[in-house]
Amino acid sequence: MMTGVSHTDVSRRAVFRGEVSGVGGLRRVAVLSVHTSPLAQPGIGDAGGMNVYVLQTALHLARRGIEVEIFTRATSSADPPITRVAPGVLVRNVVAGPFEGLDKYDLPTQLCAFAAGVLRAEAAHEPGYYDIVHSHYWLSGQVGWLARDRWAVPLVHTSHTLAAVKNAALADGDTPEPPLRTVGEQQVVDEADRLIVNTHDEAGQLVSIHGADPARIDVAHPGVDLEVFHPGDRRAARAALGLPLDEPVVAFVGRIQPLKAPDIVLRAVAKLPRARIVVAGGPSGSGLAAPDGLVRLAGELGITARVTFLPPQSREDLATLFQAADLVAVPSYSESFGLVAVEAQACGTPVVAAAVGGLPVAVRDGVSGMLVSGHDVDQWAQAIDKVLRLGSGPRAWAMSRSAAAHAATFSWENTVDALLASYRRALADFSTARRRVRDLATARITRRWTPRREVRL
């Protein structure tokens, strides 16, 4: 296994450069998001929950007075070198490889070019410009590892998904993650100063699969923007979307790919004669091989007239869709958390979700929605039908209120509280390691220059 510069070497370099970055001195965070920009529309290509996470945490960190610079790969010649998103938050679009026609499986070939762009940005400033590096996804972790060694600052890493977990729950016909990713993830886990995960379940996976030190893992649940996602008028929402007022509506929101299992929802709804389904998202990953696959499936199931396909939606339009639906289905084969589930519940809409990954945390089974074990279509049809049968009576209102109340416990403020706590631990541990190296170096110098007593025979 490849290894990088040791923590001792990093600490020694920091001591000799005379840098000081105390626990209370966190001013600026370098965030790395190689394969997808936080400004990209979720539901298109590789953009999804991670994009929302990176952008929202950056915005909330900035509100705490901490500057955030996000490095991502430019995907268009029209991308400006720097985009100022909000006071204290900027996105650096690094040119690394061709702008188009490169998916995330090709990106390892461009990591050197991306890393060079990141290091050059820091080199334009005085040493110690960034206090910490936070990388997202394993590709970013590879670059973060190099930046950590070069800048002598701690590396905090969030995996978001793990290859071994995804490969253990592949949908039929889906493409497994390559061994290169598994090796790369192991390297990053070994090198990161701290690891941040969405749930305790994910922490256990890092320990069991990659042998991570539990003492270096911190849990930070993702949040939801309650100013955007909140209960609303269902009739008005349906009118805005052109949906009938008198039919049960099931919504699926996400990237159209086997991992997200939208076909399960279509097959389940096909067994419920009165239900209508709205699918909002675009093809992604292995789903690009058959971008019209869901449309054809709807025709084969004879439910074309009951299916509404929408492109990926803005956050405001997504909230309208959630408000319009009777329930939102999240049948993913693997999901580290499930932001869609929390956002839907924040709108007072129950969620029927697969009991995988972080979804049992995002959804309170029997309270804010239902969890389904496995992907048997009949079981999904029964679960969806059970929620739809609540109608608009007292039980439906109770679940709607519970859904909104449960979602309200997931705020980005809480997420950032957890991030800052992790950052401070990383800085403290890093500072301690540097002091040890300094003391060791001082002791060696002292021994070297201490006069020897003359020995007479």
**Domain range annotation of the chain:** 24-223, 234-408
CB atoms closer than 10 angstroms to residue 275: 21
- Helix or strand (DSSP H, E) at 84: strand 82-86
Is 167 part of any known ligand binding site? no
Is 222 part of any known ligand binding site? no
Task: Give percent of the chain above pLDDT 90.
Answer: 75
Looking at residues 109-115, what average pLDDT do you find?
95
Same fold, 24-223 and 234-408: yes
Q: How confident is the model at residue 136 (pLDDT cuts 50, 70, 90)?
A: very high
CB burial readout 339-364, b (16+ within 10 A) else e: bbbbbbbbbbbbbbbbebbbbbbbbb
**Is pLDDT at 446 greater than 90 in this prediction?**
no
Convert the pLDDT of each residue in 226-256 to its tens digit.
Answer: 999 999 999 999 999 999 999 999 999 998 9
Looking at residues 61-74, what average pLDDT do you find?
96
The bridge status of strand 82-86 relative to strand 89-94 is: antiparallel
Q: Indicate the average pLDDT of the chain.
A: 89
Is 198 part of any known ligand binding site? no
- Kindly report the CATH number that applies to the domain delimited by 234-408: 3.40.50.2000
DSSP line for 338-364: -HHHHHHHHTT--EEEES-TTHHHHS-
Task: Give percent of the chain above pLDDT 70.
Answer: 88
345-354, 390-399, 418-427 — which is least confidently predicted?
390-399
Is 271 part of any known ligand binding site? no
**Is pLDDT at 57 greater than 50 in this prediction?**
yes
Q: How confident is the model at residue 2 (pLDDT cuts 50, 70, 90)?
A: very low
Is 50 part of any known ligand binding site? yes
The rounded distance, in Å, linking the Cα atoms of 316 and 208 is 39
Q: How confident is the model at residue 46 (pLDDT cuts 50, 70, 90)?
A: confident
Is 19 part of any known ligand binding site? no
Is 335 part of any known ligand binding site? yes
Q: What helix, strand, coil percent values describe the chain, rounded to 5?
A: 45, 15, 35
- 402 alpha-carbon distance from chain centroid: 25
More confidently predicted of 143 and 172 = 143
Size of the chain in residues: 457
Is 104 part of any known ligand binding site? yes
Is 323 part of any known ligand binding site? yes
Is 260 part of any known ligand binding site? yes
The rounded distance, in Å, linking the Cα atoms of 303 and 177 is 33
Is 46 part of any known ligand binding site? yes
**Is pLDDT at 286 greater than 70 in this prediction?**
no
Looking at residues 131-156, what average pLDDT do you find?
97
Looking at residues 346-362, what average pLDDT do you find?
97
Indicate the DSSP class of residue 428: H
**Is pLDDT at 21 greater than 60 in this prediction?**
no
Convert the pLDDT of each residue in 357-406 to its tens digit.
Answer: 999 999 999 999 999 999 999 999 999 999 999 987 889 999 999 999 99
The bridge status of strand 369-372 relative to strand 28-33 is: unpaired
The rounded distance, in Å, linking the Cα atoms of 346 and 348 is 5
Report domain 24-223's class. Answer: alpha beta
Is 293 part of any known ligand binding site? no
Is 35 part of any known ligand binding site? yes
**Is pLDDT at 135 greater than 60 in this prediction?**
yes
The rounded distance, in Å, linking the Cα atoms of 318 and 72 is 25
Is 49 part of any known ligand binding site? yes
Query: SS3 for 198?
Result: coil
**Is pLDDT at 287 greater than 50 in this prediction?**
no
Is 309 part of any known ligand binding site? no
Is 115 part of any known ligand binding site? no
pTM confidence score: 0.86
List the beta bridge partners of residue 248: none
Looking at residues 134-138, what average pLDDT do you find?
97
More confidently predicted of 425 and 455 = 425
